[in-house]
Amino acid sequence: MRTTQKRMPNKAIFFDRDGVINRDYGYVGKIENFEFLPEVQETLGRLKALGYKLILITNQSGIARGRYTEADFWQVTNYMQQQLAPYQASFDAVYFCPHHPEAQVLEYRRQCSCRKPQPGLFLQALAEHELQAEHCLAVGDQPRDLIAASRAGITRLYLNSSTDNPELKDLYHQLLPKLSLLPELLQAVA
Ligand SMILES: [Mg+2]
Ligand SMILES: [Zn+2]
């Protein structure tokens, strides 16, 4: 007799980077300025152990503004991933938008569909990782992070802040004062 194996759907958490994963010094384009926020590595490891893919989606207009290059961005990304590896907490994918409508660097000057609050990168990630929006959640420290996620159909939205933002009044979301609270929150609703 043959049993049918029901494959569990992929589930994922979409993270913003600056201000959620690392301290937001503004235009973090060098390893020297990349400083993990407290308990982030452990927390990401716990979330991954719960079966979530971890996907990073970040606006990097510093590239458009000529503050740092795409190569610099990847250096910081590699460093971040190396620091996460001992915690089994590396991101499964990293997506970034290098554009800005008023970019100093002409090749990046455009009104794109990937800069949050546009949902382009979320839609791309959902497709590339065979994810359904209802099995995903998003964590950001700015309204535009959650607006972008919501436009991609994600409804479980967490504002990683202790203060609510009026721009989010039409979106159902939860305040997440500390990222380290997320694993327990997810276990509670599972
Ligand atoms: Mg941020
Ligand atoms: Zn873009």
The rounded Å distance from CA 26 to ligand 1 centre is 9
Ligand nearest to the CA of 61: 2
Ligand nearest to the CA of 16: 1
Ligand nearest to the CA of 142: 1
The rounded Å distance from CA 2 to ligand 1 centre is 49
The per-residue pLDDT for 119 is 98
The per-residue pLDDT for 6 is 66
Q: Which of 16, 24, 145, 170 is catalytic?
A: 16
Q: Is 18 a catalytic residue?
A: yes
Upper half-sphere CA count for residue 171 (Cβ side, 13 Å): 26
Question: What type of residue sits at position 128?
Answer: E
Q: Which residues of 115-142 are buried (b: 16+ CB within 10 A; e: fewer)?
A: bbbbbbbbbbbbeeeebebebbbbbbbb
- Sketch out the chain's domains with CATH numbers: 18-42+50-142+149-175 (3.40.50.1000)
The rounded Å distance from CA 24 to ligand 1 centre is 7
- pTM > 0.85: yes
Q: pLDDT tens, position by position, for the chain (190 residues)?
A: 555 566 788 999 999 999 999 999 999 999 999 999 999 999 999 999 999 999 999 999 999 999 999 999 999 999 999 999 999 999 999 999 999 999 999 999 999 999 999 999 999 999 999 999 999 999 999 999 999 999 999 999 999 999 999 999 999 999 999 999 999 999 886 6
Q: Is 164 a catalytic residue?
A: no
**Strand ranges in 17-171 using DSSP code E only, listed in sequence order:** 53-59, 93-97, 136-140, 156-159
The per-residue pLDDT for 2 is 57
The rounded Å distance from CA 1 to ligand 1 centre is 52
